[in-house]
Chain A
């Protein structure tokens, strides 16, 4: 949108008092061309500019109101009010902005547009679609450009589900739009709106056109706006009970996360955080994925952008991009927008949850978000807490993770969930730093990435001794019922072996492995098989990148079977070298890369039995 189309300085009376309910009638906020104009309700002047933070005088704004700054009309947000000075964080570069320029108040908190058109979009931190920005300002992000989050020109095929005379309250589904092939976008009444439907009709609509009306005259549209910093209300919060199946053996097997759960992946650089996050975004069995690249590398976002459209969802067979919303605020984009990006993402996730979908949100990385908070806090000259982070860091972290969960949404009985998986980038790989610690206090699944494992090219480099999942007990019922009754039993056996290995390795370090009792040599060998053939998984291999639960279960079984049979053979007096020389055990690794894994597993099982019989017969 060019500057010329922005409506300037219109005074709008009633909406200033309450930002959240003022947009109950969002129709007022768009001009006829379907683009958003930030209406302003008052003006002041800039007093001071210091980087991304400016101070303004003579304005009457509420906390977190969006304001328009300077001649270039940059977007900003009120973050402090002190006597006559109002402090504003600006989402764009402030070079050459001068004291004395205008500051306009919109009276609206930072909001996102929620409606059809979200899926397969790529946004910056404040929901400006990057492709639109590219069309309008070229290959580089310039400033002063506003662009609505949704396409306001596109027509959607709306099928009404409610009818005239229906009493609807917030969250109620009034109809559907098939946004992507196979993905139904439910059109809901805005959570703070209710009433009796006066009229409603099916047909082809843009998001701006009314599909119906309530008796009090409120127009019903395909989209509504919601302030990002306010969690969307729900009817009831539930306990998580089903796992988010990720297709990653170490996660599904040893450290599962529940749908509606919270997990963190901390790790030093180079340990594979981003690859892990992307693997989860690609393969987890959520209905909708929201991926936030918060202060990360530009080239990585490009990788996601170029790769996702070519990948197919193992469940639906459709491109993965169809169910994905991407938010990319790379490290060199404005810091205030980075701070907002996490909220933008979770609000979109909550919106899809309210339709009864299982949503998984990946935030990479929450440390960059925390650093954005620190940067802004330090410009505000606030008293710093630990390592210069603001004292409210852990509160903000907790508030954010608390927006995850499995819930009964307002309008339907079908439960929906938001699973949050946050990457943490601890400086120097030191887990005692404030962001990791603040995160640990609220999350339930912890996948500790280990640089040492990454250096050995053990990927995913999730350390099996320091990671944990508090959902294991809750979820074991599901696994035992859906996959196999002894799933959790096998998992426990594997964990025990891995723990024993750790102890034994210390001894080996001193005396060499030949000096160990034979029984323990077998333990070591079995543990090696678990590490190499179960825990390690190649994200870049077309087959190994995703491993379904049945395959994981059978692989576990075969490895454990080797351990058991080997111990038995040893008990019967077989030679240890012969046992360790069993050839089939080293072929278990082939299962990972085999499309037709069931046949191979059958073959290996049979051959292993034969080999052990031969060893026993000697």
Chain B
């Protein structure tokens, strides 16, 4: 294999090499620095004149005297069952002082797309033990359901809780967890690992760590390493795999960094135009294949920049994934855990995983009714802030109380509280009991007769709820994206809330 000494230009994470023999697109390269250090890279652009290599460890220390060698192959990951229980770096090298992994086989990390015809339809309910997810945004095996979070919100806690509690009803086997950290802090990583170790989960986990101080370019391969591992366990070893990817925002930042170093024409907010396709090659690796026993379920986590759900990263993700779990800063500030805002949250595959044989006959209708009731209740808070509680009709007062109780009793639960699905649905019925039977327009009469128990008391509202309502009203005016049907007229609104 030839070593070239023809580096002509070094810029950002890229090295330009002139006058080589034909080099394949996507080939791996090894760069030897004058001091003996070795760095790894991958070919981004190749032509007769010049080859562009992106260097995973960063270009610090590389000069024109460095030599470069092309290995004639694309990036592959050595996989084996021994990976379970191991902690690896973002390139797949052991970090835990353990022996290196003896490969059973080597797999291409750029996974091929699953033939849509070979996919099996997901439909197995995964119980996470979290009410807002199980009842309102049900996860099924083979789905990709991201958590849309914000900086400072407890998304890691929730991801851990899901990893601990996730199970398919009636099945003993636990999920294999593949965890890929991209650009998260050492502290966060420690937190994850400690939790895995304490609960014993580490034994059925593979951890890939690319931390905040690791090179950004490496971040681009970390999720692919993780998913390749997941595919190996799912499709070769018949296991059910849960993949947690955190934080996709850091991944996209890296993508932008490389894009701008290559002087590409940027798309929205400077992110490359191919970000949609690129993200799809990550997310679409979730699924089930006909005739194979294993499955891959994905839980990507991303922090929304400025809590803005229309930011390109969240936006493109939402278009690829099958729904999203949105965390709310407001609920978090109020001290509710997990602060899942069910209104913008969604699981697209929910209908495939619920119902009589799968969860319970009333699941769909209860979930719809809770959505509707909570949405109306939240809207009413804005109204209360303006006209006062007395101007409300009795029904509106009931809805207001319902929304309050929904947040306090249904959304809120302990970090180690594992609610099974029937407990969750019973709890929902308890809360729906605060509404009159005829208020429940989304539930069929038969189900109401079977489950409904009136629990409605003629109690006045707490001060807290009024306060919350004011906040909501003010928030609404500031927020551009929230368009309410009951839009308060401007001006009037301001005056009222100032008092």
Contact = CB atoms under 8 A, between A and B. Distances in A.
Partners in one complex: yes
Interface of A: 47-51, 55, 93-101, 122, 130-131, 133-134, 138-142, 268-270, 293, 295, 297-303, 305-306, 328, 330-333, 335, 368, 371-372, 374-375, 378, 381, 384, 387-388, 425, 427-430, 451-452, 455-457, 502, 505-506, 508-515, 532, 540, 586, 589
A301 B120 CA distance: 10
Contacts of A47: 47-48
A133 B215 CA distance: 39
Nearest to B117: A130
Interface stretch (B2-10, B18-26, B419-427): B18-26
A396 to B, nearest CB: 16
B119 A381 contact: no
A133 B118 CA distance: 10
Interface stretch (B185-193, B385-393, B409-417): B385-393
A456 B372 contact: yes
Given A96-B25, A99-B47, A141-B114, A331 B121 contact: no
A298 B119 contact: yes
B281 interface: yes
Given A299-B122, A512-B387, A375 B46 contact: no
B121 A299 contact: yes
28 contacts: A47-B47, A47-B48, A50-B44, A50-B45, A95-B26, A96-B25, A96-B74, A101-B22, A122-B117, A139-B114, A139-B235, A139-B290, A140-B113, A269-B319, A299-B287, A328-B116, A331-B277, A332-B285, A378-B264, A427-B312, A428-B481, A455-B343, A509-B382, A509-B383, A509-B486, A509-B488, A510-B488, A512-B392
A505 B485 contact: yes
A559 to B, nearest CB: 15
Given A140-B114, A299-B119, A378-B265, A510 B26 contact: no
A51 B484 CA distance: 44
B485 A427 contact: no
Interface string B324-338: 100000000000000
A302 B347 CA distance: 16
Nearest to B50: A48
A565 to B, nearest CB: 21
B116 A130 contact: yes
Contacts of A299: 119, 121-122, 142-143, 287, 322, 349
A305 B116 contact: yes
B106 interface: no
B27 interface: yes
B441 A375 contact: no
A460 to B, nearest CB: 15
Contact of A97 (B25, B118, B120): B25
A155 B120 CA distance: 31
Q: Which of A96, A268, A301 has the most CB of B within 10 A?
A: A96
B141 to A, nearest CB: 11
B323 A99 contact: no
B344 interface: yes
Contacts of B438: 586
Contacts of B23: 98-99
B268 interface: yes
Nearest to B369: A457
Nearest to B442: A457
B273 interface: yes
Contact of A140 (B112, B281, B319): B112
B121 A505 contact: no
Nearest to A45: B48
Given A96-B25, A305-B117, A512 B391 contact: yes
B171 interface: no
B25 A302 contact: no
Interface in B354-395: 364, 368, 371-372, 375, 382-383, 386-387, 391-393
A374 B273 contact: yes
A139 B115 contact: yes
A98 B115 contact: no
Contacts of B323: 270
Contacts of B352: 303
Interface in B284-319: 284-285, 287, 289-290, 292, 309-312, 315-316, 318-319
The 10 closest A-B pairs by CB, nearest first: A428-B310, A48-B47, A331-B280, A130-B117, A140-B112, A96-B24, A332-B284, A95-B26, A269-B318, A98-B22
A298 B114 contact: yes
A372 B280 CA distance: 13
Contacts of B48: 47-48, 99-100
B47 A49 contact: yes
B153 interface: no
A540 B348 CA distance: 13
A140 B115 CA distance: 5
A427 B315 contact: yes
A586 B440 CA distance: 12
B371 A457 contact: yes
Nearest to B26: A95
Given A331-B284, A427-B310, A510-B492, A95 B116 contact: no
Nearest to A271: B346
Nearest to A274: B348
A297 B320 contact: yes
B320 A331 contact: yes
A18 B142 CA distance: 48
A513 B391 CA distance: 9
Contacts of A457: 368, 371-372, 442
Contact of B47 (A55, A96, A589): A55
A270 B116 contact: no
B459 interface: no
B267 A387 contact: yes
Contacts of B46: 48-50, 98-99
Given A96-B73, A97-B25, A100-B48, A297 B113 contact: no
B77 interface: no
B277 A375 contact: yes
B455 interface: no
B111 interface: yes
A270 B115 contact: no
B483 interface: yes
B351 A95 contact: no
Interface in B116-139: 116-122
A282 B118 CA distance: 22
B1 interface: no
B322 to A, nearest CB: 6
A331 B276 contact: yes
A457 B116 CA distance: 29
B194 interface: no
A505 B268 CA distance: 36
Contact of A427 (B268, B292, B346, B488): B268
Contact of A141 (B113, B280, B393, B482): B113
B486 A508 contact: yes
Contact of A332 (B26, B113, B265): B113
A99 B22 contact: yes
Contacts of B22: 98-101
A513 to B, nearest CB: 7
Interface in B240-286: 264-268, 272-274, 276-277, 280-281, 283-285
